Amino acid sequence: MPALLDRPIPVLAELAAGAVRGGRVTLEERLNAVLHEARTNSGSECPLCRARMAPTPAGVVPAGAECAGCGSRLS
């Protein structure tokens, strides 16, 4: 069974039309949305500490995002 979030997440507003099931979003959907936003908008809100999460520099493999506050990484 996938992990579920029980509070609204602003970064996931674009998922509301299709990905939200019964008002809940899976952890995978949440993390994918944060990573997508960081890559396309040059930053996002960290899902753990709410600090700024920025995309990793070009050429870093795997490409992803890193939080300036807590150091969490998504790839």
Average pLDDT over residues 55-74: 87
* pLDDT at residue number 37: 92
Indicate whether 54 pLDDT > 70: yes
Domain positions in the chain are: 4-74
Give residue 25's identity as a one-letter amino acid code: V
C-alpha 35/C-alpha 74 separation (Å) is 6
C-alpha 65/C-alpha 44 separation (Å) is 9
The per-residue pLDDT for range 13-53, each reduced to its tens digit, is: 545 545 545 678 888 999 999 999 998 888 999 999 999 99
Average pLDDT over residues 57-75: 86
Query: Helical H runs in the chain?
Result: 27-41
* pLDDT at residue number 59: 76
C-alpha 42/C-alpha 65 separation (Å) is 9
* pLDDT at residue number 10: 55
